[in-house]
Homo-oligomer: A and B are copies of this chain.
Amino acid sequence: MDARLSEVKALVQQALDQAMAGLPAGDLRDAMAYAVTGGKRIRAFLVMESARLHGISDQAALPVAAAVEALHAYSLVHDDLPAMDDDDLRRGQPTVHVKWDEATAILAGDALQSLAFELLSADQIGDPAARIRLIAAFAQAVGAQGMVWGQALDIAAEAAAEPLDLGAITELQDGKTGALIRFAATAGPLIANADSGPLDQYAGALGLAFQIADDILDVTGNEDVTGKRVRKDDAAGKATFVSLLGLDQARARARSLVQQAEGGLSPYGENAGNLRELARFVIERDT
């Protein structure tokens, strides 16, 4: 998996750099480029592996991987804004509104969302019908019934008198991080017009395990390693999988979700080794 992840990282960075090369020079482009630099590229990896399992070439899948990372970067830039989570550190660096200003952060996020859709319209992905399938699914995953909906639930939870229960947190996570992860993992079947059920099962469980691992890292993590502020949720009195389940139960839940995720890979047999490894990595990472 490590070799493939490194390869994907390099390819995606190149695709993003290329997509932004033609933009007018200035703070806006610089802030966009800054926002899409670094990160684990797990979502891009999901796209590329999901595509490979369906006989789609790296060349065809690459704009989709880049689109998913551009969208993810926009969501982080907007989430970090003072009116939202008010974070000053991301991937070990000052967040965009700290390095530039709020207006630039809002605009860079906005333009990264447009860029994501532009990337999904690229010829090299495949026939127009395949691209339309991707775009329709992507728009739903990232909008007011997907990612933005999850983020709105998160904001509302902060203002609420009562902390969320497990069902509400799961719904929130399913939107905020789950929807884009599910899109990424089903990009292959979407392009190939094949059954996306098994990879959707994989990604649903993976996304939830990923969020539980994030909550665990917020408690046990080291800021120097994670590159973002830790112990934030606890300080904010925010309900998390850890605050609701306790550390041991949260770990057990994450492990069981990884098994569920692996179940979704069974139709792909040996070929899905990288995705199997990713599922285990997600709960073992320290960053």
Contact = CB atoms under 8 A, between A and B. Distances in A.
A132 interface: yes
A28 B121 contact: no
A7 interface: no
Which range contains the number of A residues in contact with the other chain? Answer: 35 or more
Contacts of A84: 103, 106
A217 B27 CA distance: 31
Nearest to A134: B121
Contacts of A129: 128
A236 interface: no
A3 interface: no
Interface of A: 20, 22-24, 26-29, 32, 74, 78, 81, 83-84, 101-104, 106-107, 109-111, 113-115, 117-118, 120-121, 127-129, 131-132, 135-136, 138-140, 142-145, 148-149, 151-152, 155-156
Nearest to A109: B110
A142 B102 CA distance: 20
A117 B143 CA distance: 10
A114 B143 contact: yes
Contacts of A118: 136, 139-140, 143
Nearest to A74: B110
Contact of A142 (B101, B114, B155): B114
6 contacts: A23-B149, A26-B152, A28-B144, A107-B151, A117-B138, A128-B131
Nearest to A81: B106
B152 A104 contact: yes
A136 B132 CA distance: 11
B155 A139 contact: no
Determine how many copies of this chain the complex contains.
Answer: 2
Nearest to A175: B24
A131 B128 CA distance: 8
Contacts of A101: 83
Contacts of A20: 144
A106 B56 CA distance: 36
Contacts of A144: 20, 23-24, 28-29, 32, 111, 114-115
B139 A22 contact: no
Nearest to A146: B114
A20 to B, nearest CB: 8
A113 B23 CA distance: 20
A106 B109 CA distance: 10
A117 B139 contact: yes
Nearest to A141: B114
